Structure 1
């Protein structure tokens, strides 16, 4: 209050007789009658006086033809203003509110509102400013009144313009406090006022602007998005008309607002930064700091924000291009069309935009490389998106910064955030588009040689995918050879590694096309390795599609023809290390893939294949390895006509297979591992004899060589081994054109009889079926009388099982006895009659007797 009285006393006093017109005199008399009420002791009296003043002022319309602002100026400044300012400190809230309203009316109607500033600004500072705004509440306790007072300050700024310059200290002191006001509306109004103050006093504001940056940055993260937008807009104006020293203090906060969930906030950042790039006095000093903020808006999720940021960026580029026209004269005069391989030639950035990025990339890139490894996922995403935009602008200028760019991409492509990886893939594709393959391959392949990684392969695949075909062609063989190296294609057992390795091969095949003809073998080796290591993880179908594409590039019909072209080289490649194979060797898995996927081509490679198998199946080799290879061999033997015997040449290698593969593996040795190998060997033998690729003569040779081992396998613990052994014996007995020694034939049936007591019904039925074949074979043998005692013994044993608890076994045995009854029906009849009364269920014995009684008269 003392300040107000002192200001009133110091104000120049003009004689009323010289200054006032008749209209002014009349207004002065009217106001003089009402003003004493403002000094009343009662709150009600003061309020009534203020209300009367309000009615008096509102009665005169400023827009009326007879309204004279000059006539209002004298009474307003001399009588009304000082008393209303004293009312701002009135104890009654209602009186203060009326006083603010009247001050607003007075400023709007006065001819020279700036004359009120020497009294108004100190009064507003007295009500709104406090020494420590963050700790102490403002002198004005009512938030609605604080809002009205700030609005009054804003009105004074708008009406006074540059005349406010001498009072900047008071205005800024007010705003420093109100920008931190607890009431959000006060903060918003303060931001608008700060922006208006900056625009109104451009020649003097820079001396005070720095003092507003702190409160603004404290408010920029306010929970109300409208407050955040207002702060950003105010900061734009404060920096624009203030000191460039504050830019560094503001930029980190603006960068954080790029992650704001509210689109309006991000739009405000783009507008503010775009305004600085277009109009900031010292903008050339801050280009490398401002450009990333604006370019980040180009990839905004909201299309309208991205479009507005793009428009601003184009204006910035055009303005810079105009300002530096002499420097760019050659490029402007000899401007060529966009590169033919440009990813979006229709929307290629302008020359000014490209030059701005190129000239500042060395300063921008280190920060991007740092942020792309930030611990906050959002920061990494934005940094990766921005890097893609920068590379699109830099074009071939990126070659100068390729090493840090690739190092960053190698790290970021391993990020757990999918958006980061996708943006980095786009970056790598742009590198491939604009940088020579000789340059990027030297760096990437060198990195892969030192430390193979899934991210490195992903970067390589992406740059290859982005590289123009004509540029990639001469380097296809080098890339393919490198990918086929063991240290790369076997660099990890991680499924992601395999997926990215496959992406590399796919990119080479798609980009190389006809150039792949000289690189098909190493590419095929890489695909074989991928199928071997990761085919079970879901990459099998993709590998087959890639093989089809490679076959088309090679000029052959399909993948089978591709294998036929290169199977010899593949087996030679694998044979180089087969003496040291173990179950853990990758070569074993590769061998499995080659053998099982070569199809008919396998029949042409028997001279190379059989020696490898013979070496690997020796008893001294790793037992798990032998089991694995038995599985592989069994699979191809099951389709022998389409694989190993596609050329009808398998018979020439049967002796070697029997000698080196089957015989050593069927030998009895103690232990579960040896038993498993014998079971695998029996399965393989069954696949061989059951495939139809072995003639009767060859079957006889197998029988002579392997019958003892097969009969021994009937005693194996493995049900599979016993079952398949029964079936193999059945096949061995079938050829009738080759005689079997009686002793050899007689030794067979006791072993089969033992299987009728097997725990597995399937084995029992198979043994019964084989006994039928044995009986048929005896019938076809000359001198069958020598088998009479053996057949009689067989009859007796089979009759026991005719009363078996399992009806299926009973039926099978009945059919066996009927089939064998043609040998010695009289013997069987006697034996059957002898046991008829012993059976629990004689029904099948009676059926057999009826069959025999019908058979004997016929004979």
Structure 2
């Protein structure tokens, strides 16, 4: 059957031989174009038409091989020699019996590739490469027949190796001119230079890698995607095929992984593809060392969402080279060039993702770098570093990470310390963090931490820590709720943090929610006793700079009706701190707090109706107010203290307290300070406004008569401003007993230096009585 098939092919082979006969003569023509046309015609007959292997073998062996070899060896035109090599390769790879070409081809290759002096007769570099590829094809197709021709093959390979060795020794001289051109203004030139550099080092001296790394790294910032792609391809090929690649892993891996964040998806995918191949190749090369890990190593139970875990080989490559990569990378993260900082911070995240729990070995260097970087205001770099810190939380035991973080925080509290701590908490699994909650919350609530700085940035990061704990630990936060409340109250108490109050309140609501409470007021209700105890520990020693005064302000005014349940703690604090011997500015602050509460007494301090039970304490507070009045020289401060005391305390006090109050105010009308006298007049106006009950008015009628008499004396004050202020007081008070006031006016009118104000008062009484 085989013979029948062969016979059936003979006419076809004869036809092809006949057709080729018309063109083979053209190979002897002196003109280049004629020989080139002949070769193209031959290619059309045997390469561009479908021929069986037997036909092609018949034609190639009997008619084409020797003319093609003569052309390959002796044709002066490069293009003709190139076509001859291509046709020879086609005949060998598609013919039925390629070994028959060995006696003819091997001497021709030896003649063309090496002379007795070891020099090539083929001047064209591309054709030398094509001839080597032709030799490689012969070795592959004719393996069984090679022993007979072993001497010729060895001579060819030896000559090739000598040339390779010569190139290996000379290649480093090409590096300098290449690097001088790698930043050429035309991007195609840059691409070509990068590709040439890859080839020169791949087949030359691998030590030149050190000479080109910085130049290639710079090209990763090139604005042209094709240039960055060329760098990725070259580095990927080196990591796969460079002879000394193990020695350069720590230098090449950062370059390839940097392309993971390239803005062009094609470049990113190219880098990912190369990296996967590199990791798998390394696994195969080190399979024995990795046997246990390949069989038993499982993924961490908690892994960043949306992130694909790299292959084991990739992770191992990073882990084993991380100690050599990190120092330089940490330096680059703080480089003076912004682009370098951004690229380095992106790479840091990628490396830590590969390193997993091996990050533990490098914690001190990492944390020191992250603290420094996160003090800056560069959003991109800080964002990348915070993401990297979250990986620390994911992969490093809190027993290690929290110890280092808290130690640094206690030593030198900075906003960046808190920022990194918050990131680590966010990355940490809930069950892993749970045993360390008390330690963490107690640390944050220490005065040395939460009260260390009034810097806004510091307070913002402290709030982030509380938010991170609440977000991660959920219901587990119940055991540390009090400590977190102390921190939140402290943040709200810091001056100039008004813009944070809404966020603090949201955090309180979140903390209440995870405990199944209805809102932040329930948190205050749950902790009010402990909070008051916490804030009042040293209240006997407070001054205007004591942070506890501001914390008390928050607890008292932000807790709404809950403060009404803590009067047994709140009122004694006021009694102690409002003593005349205490710091005046602190006392003024406490007066202001009390005034704010009394504006809505039934919704705050008297929400439970307990204020009257503390009337003895409140009487003391009044005496402290009046002892303080002469010390304060600013009218507005005094008005705040006195106005609200009269307007809001009076309705719940005894009548005797009112009498005591107006007597003290009368004394202040003789004060040496002009502002104090005006404020006292305003307070007496408010005092009169509080008396509208007929029974109460009747009880203190004699006191009102005395007050009319004393005020009329001040109506004749030398200072017209005081006269006008007292006139307003008497107008307000005239509604109580107008006839009695008219009688008192008539008794003293003739004694006044000017009766003008007396007349105005009489006209007012007359007009209101009509």
8 Å Cα contact 1:295/1:389 also seen in 2: yes
Q: Deviations over 1:270-308 (max 9, x none)?
A: 111111111111111111111111111112222222122
Provide the TM-score with structure 1 as the length reference.
0.70
Matches within 5 A, 1:75-86: none
SS of 1:341's partner is coil
Q: In structure 1, what is the equivalent of residue 37 of structure 2?
A: 62
- Cα distance, 1:412 vs. partner? 1.9
* Distance of aligned partners of 1:199 and 1:758 in 2 relative to their CA distance in 1, 3 Å threshold: farther
Task: Give the alignment partner of residue 657 of structure 2, picking from 695, 698, 702.
Answer: 702
Q: In structure 2, what is the equivalent of residue 680 of structure 1?
A: 637
Task: Give the alignment partner of residue 236 of structure 1, picking from 198, 207, 214.
Answer: 198
Task: Give the alignment partner of residue 168 of structure 2, picking from 199, 206, 212.
Answer: 206
Where in structure 1 are there 5+ consecutive unaligned residues? 1-20, 28-55, 78-102, 119-153, 166-197, 805-811, 821-850, 852-859
Alpha-carbon distance in 2 for matches of 1:305, 1:694: 78
Alpha-carbon distance in 2 for matches of 1:444, 1:65: 75
8 Å Cα contact 1:771/1:816 also seen in 2: no
Matches within 5 A, 1:336-375: 336=298, 338-344=299-305, 347-375=308-336
Q: Is residue 294 of structure 2 the alignment partner of residue 332 of structure 1?
A: yes
* Distance of aligned partners of 1:390 and 1:23 in 2 relative to their CA distance in 1, 3 Å threshold: closer
Q: In structure 2, what is the equivalent of residue 161 of structure 1?
A: 129
Matches within 5 A, 1:140-155: none
8 Å Cα contact 1:722/1:763 also seen in 2: no
Where in structure 2 are there 5+ consecutive unaligned residues? 1-23, 43-66, 86-107, 115-121, 134-159
Matches within 5 A, 1:782-821: 789-792=743-746, 800=756, 816-820=765-769
Q: Is residue 536 of structure 2 the alignment partner of residue 575 of structure 1?
A: yes
Provide the TM-score with structure 2 as the length reference.
0.77
Matches within 5 A, 1:764-775: 770-775=729-734
- Cα distance, 1:559 vs. partner? 1.2
- Cα distance, 1:379 vs. partner? 1.9
- Cα distance, 1:550 vs. partner? 1.1
Matches within 5 A, 1:97-176: 156-161=124-129
Q: In structure 2, what is the equivalent of residue 729 of structure 1?
A: 687
Q: In structure 1, what is the equivalent of residue 700 of structure 2?
A: 740
SS of 1:259's partner is coil
- Cα distance, 1:204 vs. partner? 4.6
SS of 2:766's partner is helix
8 Å Cα contact 1:630/1:680 also seen in 2: no
Q: Deviations over 1:778-801 (max 9, x none)?
A: 26xxxx77x663153589999946
8 Å Cα contact 1:483/1:489 also seen in 2: yes
Task: Give the alignment partner of residue 777 of structure 1, picking from 711, 736, 748.
Answer: 736
Alpha-carbon distance in 2 for matches of 1:407, 1:162: 56
Q: In structure 1, what is the equivalent of residue 144 of structure 2?
A: none
* Distance of aligned partners of 1:568 and 1:633 in 2 relative to their CA distance in 1, 3 Å threshold: same
Task: Give the alignment partner of residue 440 of structure 2, picking from 444, 458, 479.
Answer: 479
Q: Deviations over 1:118-176 (max 9, x none)?
A: 9xxxxxxxxxxxxxxxxxxxxxxxxxxxxxxxxxxx992212327799xxxxxxxxxxx
8 Å Cα contact 2:639/2:683 also seen in 1: yes
Task: Give the alignment partner of residue 271 of structure 2, picking from 288, 309, 313.
Answer: 309
- Cα distance, 1:580 vs. partner? 2.4
Q: In structure 1, what is the equivalent of residue 369 of structure 2?
A: 408
Matches within 5 A, 1:13-52: 27=30
SS of 1:707's partner is helix
- Cα distance, 1:513 vs. partner? 1.6
8 Å Cα contact 1:410/1:459 also seen in 2: yes
8 Å Cα contact 2:391/2:427 also seen in 1: yes
* Distance of aligned partners of 1:703 and 1:758 in 2 relative to their CA distance in 1, 3 Å threshold: farther
Q: Deviations over 1:702-727 (max 9, x none)?
A: 32211122234457426972564143
8 Å Cα contact 1:317/1:353 also seen in 2: yes
* Distance of aligned partners of 1:535 and 1:558 in 2 relative to their CA distance in 1, 3 Å threshold: farther
- Cα distance, 1:235 vs. partner? 1.0
Q: Is residue 647 of structure 2 the alignment partner of residue 690 of structure 1?
A: yes
Alpha-carbon distance in 2 for matches of 1:760, 1:372: 71
Q: In structure 1, what is the equivalent of residue 187 of structure 2?
A: 225
8 Å Cα contact 1:474/1:515 also seen in 2: no
8 Å Cα contact 2:258/2:343 also seen in 1: yes
Alpha-carbon distance in 2 for matches of 1:114, 1:534: 90
- Cα distance, 1:674 vs. partner? 2.2
Q: In structure 2, what is the equivalent of residue 322 of structure 1?
A: 284
Q: In structure 2, what is the equivalent of residue 556 of structure 1?
A: 517
Q: Deviations over 1:156-213 (max 9, x none)?
A: 2212327799xxxxxxxxxxxxxxxxxxxxxxxxxxxxxxxx9996565322211111
Q: In structure 2, what is the equivalent of residue 663 of structure 1?
A: 623
8 Å Cα contact 2:27/2:39 also seen in 1: no
Alpha-carbon distance in 2 for matches of 1:341, 1:426: 15
8 Å Cα contact 1:164/1:201 also seen in 2: no
* Distance of aligned partners of 1:310 and 1:713 in 2 relative to their CA distance in 1, 3 Å threshold: farther
Q: Is residue 354 of structure 2 the alignment partner of residue 393 of structure 1?
A: yes
- Cα distance, 1:484 vs. partner? 0.6
Q: Deviations over 1:356-412 (max 9, x none)?
A: 111222222222222222222222222221111111111122222222222222222
Alpha-carbon distance in 2 for matches of 1:469, 1:794: 82
Task: Give the alignment partner of residue 546 of structure 2, picking from 585, 591, 594.
Answer: 585
- Cα distance, 1:346 vs. partner? 6.0
8 Å Cα contact 2:580/2:627 also seen in 1: no
